[in-house]
Amino acid sequence: MLRLVKAETYKLSKKLKSWLGPLLIMVLVLIAFPLSIDISQFDLDKFYFSIIVVSLLMTSFVATEGMFEEDFEDGSLEQEFLIEKDFYKLALIKIFVFVFLIGIPIALIGALFSFANGVAIDNFAKVFLFLSLSNLLLFNLFAFGNALSINKGAMLGVLSSLPLTLPVIILLGRAIRSIQYGDGFLSIIALMMGVGLLMSAVMPLIISAALKTHID
Amino acid sequence: MFDLAFNNFNEILDMDGHGIYVWSVYTIGISMILLSFLVAKHRIHDIKKKIKTKNASS
Amino acid sequence: MITAFIHKFSSPKSFVRVTQKLYPFFIVFGVSMLTLGWIWGLLFAPQDAVQGNSYRIIFLHVPAVIFAELIYFFMAICALMHLVWRVKLAAYLIKAAAPIGAMITFLGLLSGSIWGIPTWGTWWQWDARITSTLILFIMYLGILTLHGSFSNKEKADRLMSILVVIGVINIPIIKKSVDWWSTLHQPASISVSGGSSIDPSMLYPLLISIIGLGFTLISLGILSSRSYIFNREKNKKWIQDSV
Amino acid sequence: MKLLSAQNITHSINDTKLFHNLSFEINSGEGLHIKGGNGSGKSTLLRIILGITSPSKGFIDLEAQELNISYLGHKNAVKNYLTPAQNLELIFNDADLKLAFEWLKNFDLLDVQDELTANLSFGQQKKLALIRVMAIPSELIVLDEPFVGLDQVTADQLNNFLERKLSNGVGLILTSHINPMIDCKVLDLGTKNA
């Protein structure tokens, strides 16, 4: 377990493109959106959250792209299989490493952006929490898409997993209402945590089955 | 229950101005289903021909 | 035991043999029911008090969206059979059903859109049913794309089955969540189905159209699965003999 | 001691039969050389033995549940954006790391240990990959075409290593289109369509 955590963290941290890239893309998309809607005419604080949500969606599928491809292509998956006999741990740990190294920084950037657009400081923490939790969900789902498509390019993975992420987006939309109107915050956090836990437990199982099919 | 809802052919086509919507939906629907049947038939024909030529050559 | 039983009755060979016999009955019954239902619905059913004649689209639209979902559930059952018991035929059936499902979902969306113009004054509405149907359509296409991307067809079968099973969990979640979201953002849209209040003079042709379209689609499925089975098993002896 | 036995293995890909009813067994200290032409299914058979691929029919019987197998296929399983030294640190735990670095020295890779693996030659990368097999203690070694791309010196080193392992009671299964200089049983898959 610890061995995998170390190895996956090390591998990801050595690939500058893979973890810094998504963060930069998040920033760039967040800059691009206000530019496209002409700030002078609209109040950004009214719809800053939809901007963040869509950027989050885009960035998280960029971030998870090729999550398992490298290990598949260079034969590491087979070696891993000989040690662990399945890919449950690998998938679980990979997803969490990605969430911690990329997902949470992205959430921080998103929360900062909302902060910069006139959100009260106590909401900053709430936004950050929502974004981090939804990144956990999104990374799980996109990891599934990646495991299915493996070396067939990001397009296929997105096509098969994007429909699955739409409920998460809706949930996030609902979450922002709870912030704006100051109600139901706890129930939504609880729902997100519950779904997140369940998904983190079940998704690696499915991913493992998909990866096993690929090396078969 | 089995009385014609329209008085003449023009009324059937027009349907109080809604005819364009109704008839275009049915035209598209029928042609799509027909087309799928044709494609499926054609595919069976194709693959049978392929297998036959392969059988003949071997 | 169960496995042996399932495998015995799910060989592609016997499937092709049985469906070949059933096909003429299905197609004749399906098309005649469909013709009956549509002629009744289009020409004889009375006008709707509120929507006028545009409601006659219902006789195509409702059967289409019903089968859009039913076909997906059928695929999900097949996917489970393929994953659990490794039934090859189940995977073939998914592959044969998916294009039909995509076609009928598209038809459902299109007819709904056209119906929306005279009724709602708009061809698109972000309402729960429409949005989830659109997502269903994309999922059909995703499944087909996924299967087409792998040259090893046995792998493709299994991956496709995994996606189908995950997708079927997704459908109710999407429905529920879109419902939740849309009731927050806008008043509930016009409910499409008349429910129990529908008059028998409209209900009967509707039911007949549903049955008719069902059998027509089953016939289409028989044809499309036959061509796919022939394609996949073209090296097997029984196929070469049967041609 | 018997390590594993294969019983009536049959495998086909896309309905094309690769091999039919293969049975064999490996005892500790014994080598098995799997021979065969291109496309005869050598690599697939190895993967079946390892349990990566499940055969269409038949099964592999592992005598011990916890059989430590070290394996090198034709994919090297080294990360080319890391240096050789970093790769070894990734693969080995602290206990085995010392031995691994010894092999790095034996294989003449010390000079390049801080270069990126991507910049190494094919043979050097292969040697780096082989260290995975050499420095991890295991009861069974499985190698897929281990001699391809190796120079004579390294091939001799590998031969010596394998012989030593065999005499220590480790089982060995390898595929190779040339005859290895090790004493082995031979399993010939023949050529395809033969």
Structure confidence by residue, pLDDT tens digits, C116-153: 888 888 888 877 788 889 999 999 999 999 999 998 88
Q: In sequence order, what DSSP letters do the residues of C16-40 get, joined into one string?
A: HHHHHHHHHHHHHHHHHHHHHHHHI
CB pairs under 8 A between A and C: 63
Work out the mean pLDDT of chain C and round it to a whole number: 87
Work out the mean pLDDT of chain D and round it to a whole number: 84
pLDDT for position C57: 92
Q: Which two tokens stand for residue D98?
A: 């010392």
Q: Which two tokens stand for residue C120?
A: 């709602």
Q: Please give the share of chain A, as a percent, with pLDDT higher than 70.
A: 94
D34 domain-assigned: yes
- Chain D positions touching A3 (Cβ under 8 A) are 93
Under-50 pLDDT residues of chain B: none
Separation of alpha carbons C97 and C92, rounded Å: 9
pLDDT for position C183: 52
Touching A (3+ Cβ pairs <8 A), the chains are C, D
Domain carrying residue A45:
2-215
Under the banding of pLDDT at 50, 70 and 90, the label for residue C187 is very low
Touching B (3+ Cβ pairs <8 A), the chains are C
Which helix (H) or strand (E) segment holds residue D34: the answer is: strand D31-35
**How far away is chain C from the Cα of B5, in angstroms, using its nearest Cα?**
5
- Chain A positions touching C162 (Cβ under 8 A) are 148, 206, 209-210, 213
A82 lies within 8 A of chain D by CB: yes
* Cβ distance of C60 and B55 shorter than 8 Å: no
**How far away is chain C from the Cα of D14, in angstroms, using its nearest Cα?**
7
Strand partners, D72: D143
* Cβ distance of D71 and A79 shorter than 8 Å: yes
Domain C13-188+195-232, CATH: 1.20.120
Q: Give the total number of structural domains in chain A.
A: 1
- Per-residue pLDDT, averaged over A118-136, amounts to 86
Of C186 and C215, the structure prediction assigns the larger pLDDT to: C215
C-alpha closest to that of A19 among A108, A97, A129, A109: A97
D80 neighbors D89 (Cβ within 8 angstroms): no
pLDDT for position C37: 95
Which residue of chain D comes nearest to A2, CA vs CA? Answer: D93
pLDDT for position D94: 83
pLDDT for position C186: 42
Q: Which residues contact A100 (CB under 8 A, 6 or more apart)?
A: none
For residue C49, count CB atoms less than 10 angstroms from its CB and return exposed for 0-12, middle for 13-18, buried for 19 or more. Answer: exposed
How does pLDDT run across A143-193, given as a tens digit for each residue?
A: 999 999 988 877 888 888 999 998 898 888 888 778 877 777 888 899 999
What is the rounded (10 degree) CA torsion for A58, A60, A66, A68?
A: -150
Identify from D11, D12, D13, D15 which residue to disrupt to test chain C contact, counting C C-beta atoms within 10 A and taking the largest count: D15
pLDDT for position C172: 87
* Cβ distance of C230 and B44 shorter than 8 Å: yes
Strand partners, D7: D59
Q: Give the total number of structural domains in chain D.
A: 1
pLDDT for position B1: 60
- The ipTM assigned to this model is 0.89
Q: Which residues contact D129 (CB under 8 A, 6 or more apart)?
A: D72, D76, D77, D78
How far from each other are the two terminal CA atoms of chain C, in whole angstroms? 33
How does pLDDT run across D81-116, given as a tens digit for each residue?
A: 999 999 998 888 888 888 888 888 888 888 888 889
Domain carrying residue D23:
1-68+141-146+173-194
- Per-residue pLDDT, averaged over A11-25, amounts to 90
* Cβ distance of B6 and C117 shorter than 8 Å: no
